[in-house]
Every structure is written in structure tokens, then in C-alpha cells.
Amino acid sequence: MTRQKTLRLCYWASTGVFCFFMLYAAYTYLTDERMREGFTHLGYPSYFRLELAVAKILGVAALLLPCPAKLKEWAYAGFTFTLISAFIAHLSSGDDASRFMMPVVMGAILYASYVCLQKLGRNNLF
């Protein structure tokens, strides 16, 4: 397998897995009562859950669809800030490791996606 094909596979696999989890999170933010309770537990207002769901959906669209490079960069940055904030919120709330390690795992997957994108260049994704 050539280097380009390997990078392309790594990019789409990591981006696909990350986007799936972000869309699932957005869905549960909007539909699951336990998420409402979880946001209250972390000290966030209820409306923040809705804002975050919409932001995640828009971020996923920016990562998956062809769009200007700056928009894609902002999506990566926004997800990075969100994951760091989630890690800090869960850690400072006294949650167990299963709660605060998920943002770390998702951050590693997001980082793999970003690195592959940088190495491939935007014109070589397909």
C-alpha cells in the first residue's frame, strides 16, 4: 500500500469514527434525559447542552464536507477546546476515569485525523 493510500485510509477512518461519536453525542444531548442531568451535574445551564449539540453537528459537517480550509481549521480547534473543557469538567466534578478519559481518547482520534489531513493536503483526500 502506498504512503498516500495509507494516509488517506487513516484520515477517513479517524475522521469517520470521531464524527460518528460527535453526532451520537449531539443526538443524546437533544434526546436523552440522562444527558440533561449530566450537564446539571457538571454545573452547566440546560441551554448549553443545546448549543453544544448544534455546534457539534456543524463541526461534523465542516470536517466531512468540502469547505474552505479556514472553516475546517476552526472545526478542529472548536472540537479541541470542547474536548479539553469536557476533560476538565469531568475531572473537577469528581467523576470516575471512564467519564474523563473519553475526551482524551476522542482527542487522540481527532489529532490523528488532523495530522493525516496536514500530511495529505486538502486536494488528496479522495
pLDDT digit string (tens) for 73-122?
999 999 999 999 999 999 998 888 888 899 999 999 999 999 999 998 86
Report if residue 57 sits inside a domain: yes
pLDDT for residue 70 is more than 80: yes
Sequence-ordered list of residues with C-beta below 8 angstroms from that of 41, at least 6 positions apart, any chain = 93
As a whole number of angstroms, the distance between CA 16 and CA 46 comes to 28
Check residue 78 and give its pLDDT: 97
As a whole number of angstroms, the distance between CA 11 and CA 89 comes to 29
When divided into structural domains, the chain yields a total of 1
pTM score of the predicted model: 0.90
Report if residue 5 sits inside a domain: no
Report if residue 49 sits inside a domain: yes
Domain span at 116: 21-124
Average pLDDT over residues 53-71: 95
